[in-house]
Amino acid sequence: MSTSDERLWLDQARSGDSAAFGKLVRLHQQRIHRLAFHLTGNQGEADDVTQETFLRAYRAIARFDGRADLFTWLYRICVNVALNMRRQRKRVTTDIDDPASPEIAADSTGSDPVQAVSDAQVYKALKIAMDGLSEALRTTLILACVEQQPYADIAVVLGCSEGTIAWRVHEARRRLRDALDEQGIEALEQTQAQTPAQQSQPPPPGGEKPGAARGRRA
């Protein structure tokens, strides 16, 4: 797929071509779903956020002015939807069957039970520390360190300056490090542990929901 293809589909979608919009969905769905999963920490909610993101995008596509990259625009919608969902449930919980909850495979071939327990403890501490961050710091950290988006793009997504993004990343790292220190875990820079969002990679989106949504819109 070339940039010119995406531009053509975008122009067609803005003119009301639902089939062209469907092509844009298939192009960006996996990355949007991954972001939704990292923001919510829950597979089911990630599916819902992904579907709602594309529903909102479909309704607003005619007003998309092209000043920002399409994917950046979709990222912004996804972040807003995910944050609204997190606010609604007040307390973050993790589904017992969710892949974001790693199991300790102590009897797996070649595994070290002691290391497995240690990794699980670090993971738990990081997850608690991440959930303790403000939404602004947590979201910025995920976009910068998990999604590895440039500060300039994150600034567009979150509607603030690059300087603010840099400060938030620094502050979020400091608070995570302090939280780990309080629990007797090595400083963040001295461990090879990743944030919970980095450790957990979502399974591919079901694919039916956005497609079904397009079918309902047609």
Instruction: Specify whether the CB–CB gap between 209 and 50 falls below 8 A.
Output: yes
The pLDDT tens digits for 156-210 are 999 999 999 999 999 999 999 898 888 776 645 443 445 555 555 666 565 444 4
Q: Are residues 61 and 44 in the same domain?
A: yes
Task: Give the three-class secondary structure for 159.
Answer: coil
The pLDDT tens digits for 3-43 are 788 999 999 999 999 999 999 999 999 999 999 999 998 89
Domain count, the chain: 2
Q: Give yes or no for residue 63 having a pLDDT over 80.
A: yes
Instruction: Give the pLDDT score at 98.
Output: 43
CATH code for the domain in which residue 19 is found: 1.10.1740.10
pTM of the model as a whole: 0.72
Q: Are residues 12 and 70 in the same domain?
A: yes
Q: Are residues 193 and 210 in the same domain?
A: no
- Tell me whether residue 211 is exposed, middle or buried, using C-beta atoms within 10 angstroms of its C-beta: 0 to 12, 13 to 18, 19 or more: middle
CATH code for the domain in which residue 137 is found: 1.10.10.10
Instruction: Specify whether the CB–CB gap between 205 and 44 falls below 8 A.
Output: no
Q: Are residues 137 and 165 in the same domain?
A: yes
Q: How far apart are the first and last CA of the chain?
A: 25
Buried-state track 105-117, b at ≥16 Cβ within 10 A, e below 16: eeeeeeeeeeebe
What domain range is 193 assigned to?
Answer: 113-199
